[in-house]
Structure 1
Amino acid sequence: MEFPVNFRFSRPPLPAAGQGRIVLIIGVLLAAAALQACSAVKIAYGQATELAYWQLDGYFDFNAAQRPKVRDELARIHLWHRQTQLPAYIKTLEKWQPLLTHDMDEAQACSIFDEIRSRLQAISDHATPVAGALVTTLETEQLEALKRKFSKLNVEYRDDFLDGKPAALIEKRLKKAVSRAEMLYGSLEHAQRDVLKERITRSVFDARISLAEHQRRQRDALQSLSPLIAGQSTPNQAHLVIQGYFERVANSPDLVYRRYQDNLTRDSCKTFAALHNSTTAAQRAHAVKTLQRYAQDFAILAARR
């Protein structure tokens, strides 16, 4: 579950592979996208299967034989998620609420991010066998479509984080950070926006390092997928290859990037704590009520049959 305040000050990692995209989309649509305006939670979650399908189709352009299978598998994952993960999210939201009533330090902020990662890992573990079965049905032209999608994503990333004057790029990141923060705390004061801007300006985030890792994952994905497609492998063989790929996504073989990622995570925790510690009692109460509403909506969704 992605916390509604993402202080990495970058977009989520670029989707690194088709099968990785399955996990990312499900993670976002089933877990994170629900944490939007509270009135939209039940609508967004109910449509998650179809939304995930159209996102994936944008990468692979599924053929007539693949479409019903992809939809069926996504529906099964959605059902599993509703029955097993939403109850866990409710407990997590209840555990977070007391943290938001008082100041927090870096370690407490990082504990929230650690919980988010563990929830997304559960989705990844569950989706990997499904991805293995789907990957074996892909055709060569669908890998070409994936290459084109990766190229488009890289252009968009450069536009967001590399091309332009530094001051303009900082303002763009600030706007996104404020929007996410206000989902939780309500309207921010000028001084709190200044806290965010100062943290963004000093952030260890380096768009070039992040883009290089995204491109490494993309190359890895294409190399991993190529021997698996067009019936060249069994679902079990594909499953093992995909597991290895996911492990390299979670733990990059590039040690320089891994150190950078660790530093970026700590930096994000510090920023979250800094902003939270600048909030008023009223804003903290607003944050608690926001999480309570999310938990209530998740309970309603989890109870549906």
Structure 2
Amino acid sequence: MPAQLIRTLVLIVGLALTLGACTRIDLAYRNLDRLVPWSLGDYLDMNRQQKALLDERLKDHLAWHCKTQLPGYLDWLDKVRQMVADQAVTDQALQQRTAEARLAIGRVAEAITPSAAELLRDMSDAQVTEMRKAFSDDIAERQKEYVDTPLPRQIEERATRMHKRLKPWLGELSAVQRQRVMSWSQALGDQNREWIANRQAWQQQLLLAMDQRQTPAFEPRLAQLLQDKQSLWSPAYRAAFDNTERQARSLLVDLLQQSSAAQRQLLIERLGKVRQDFSQLKCLKG
């Protein structure tokens, strides 16, 4: 609105509200390759033929997504707006919205797996080496930014990031709401460590799969990596993830209970604007 009503609702809405933070919804939607899990541009240089294939597959997937998936996002936004309007943002309701969004994200992952396999199977050994180096740099950068700092500073910076995400949707937070954001950040503790460890483990599993990219085992393994990531989680990360979701839902419920009428109206209007922008996409009208 993983932009942004708040970070959790980013996960809930999948793509919709992430794009909603952009100034031009149509422009953002045309650049959806930056948001799907098979975006390769951050990790390696593709040759002309590979770029052409990526562009072709992306065009096909965007057309499919807009025609078959986006209408469901509009309905989802309507449900969220109604929850806010009715002051019915509860833990149970948020769990339901989360489940709906996960299904939507799962459909996207399933749809793109064959294209991802085709693209990745064509990678050269040199490109895989480049990917390996990029993954290593990615982890080192995140480790430095999110882990190699004292925990009190991590908590403070996490709360600050959340304040920034919330402001466009709720406006200025009250003192009570700011304190609630801080208590949320404190409750997450040292979650950054588990998050980065899980990211690194997923990247390593992808690299192992790339060693088998010319075998029949490659696409089923890639399908697991894209469609069933949870099956690869460590017990420690699963516990951290569950706690993160639980704490995020609790934060949302409390912030809306503590919200003023003006804050709720701003949120409803912003959600309405996102829905309007999506509903006017040319691909959807076509």
Which residue in 2 is equivalent to 1:294? 274
Change in CA separation of 1:96 and 1:205 when aligned onto 2, cut-off 3 Å: farther
**1:95 lines up with 2:76 in the alignment:** no
Summarize deviations over 1:23-53 as a string: whole Å, max 9, x none: xxxx97x54431205x422222234358879
Matched residues in 1 for 2:203 and 2:251: separation?
A: 30
What is the CA-CA distance between 1:199 and the residue it aligns to?
1.2
Please show how residues 127-206 of structure 1 align to structure 2 within 5 Å. 127-203=112-188, 206=191
- TM-score w.r.t. the length of structure 1 is 0.83
Change in CA separation of 1:270 and 1:157 when aligned onto 2, cut-off 3 Å: same
Summarize deviations over 1:67-113 as a string: whole Å, max 9, x none: 10011111111111111121111111011112112153222222232
Gaps of 5+ in 2: none
**1:5 lines up with 2:8 in the alignment:** no
Gaps of 5+ in 1: 13-26
**1:284 lines up with 2:269 in the alignment:** no
Change in CA separation of 1:296 and 1:271 when aligned onto 2, cut-off 3 Å: same
Matched residues in 2 for 1:288 and 1:226: separation?
A: 49
Please show how residues 205-220 of structure 1 align to structure 2 within 5 Å. 206-220=191-205
Please show how residues 216-255 of structure 1 align to structure 2 within 5 Å. 216-228=201-213, 232-233=214-215, 238-255=218-235
Matched residues in 2 for 1:51 and 1:112: separation?
A: 20
Matched residues in 1 for 2:193 and 2:37: separation?
A: 31
What letter corresponds to residue 92 of structure 1 in structure 2? W
Change in CA separation of 1:277 and 1:121 when aligned onto 2, cut-off 3 Å: same
- TM-score w.r.t. the length of structure 2 is 0.88
| Cα pair 1:3 1:32 within 8 Å, conserved | yes
Which residue in 1 is equivalent to 2:26? 42
User: Which one is further off, 89-98 or 41-50?
Assistant: 41-50
Q: 2:70 aligns with which of 86, 102, 107?
A: 86
Matched residues in 1 for 2:272 and 2:118: separation?
A: 38
| Cα pair 2:151 2:189 within 8 Å, conserved | no
Matched residues in 2 for 1:141 and 1:211: separation?
A: 26
Q: 1:260 aligns with which of 211, 217, 240?
A: 240
**Partner-residue secondary structure (3-state), 1:59:** coil
Change in CA separation of 1:299 and 1:181 when aligned onto 2, cut-off 3 Å: same
Matched residues in 2 for 1:254 and 1:72: separation?
A: 36
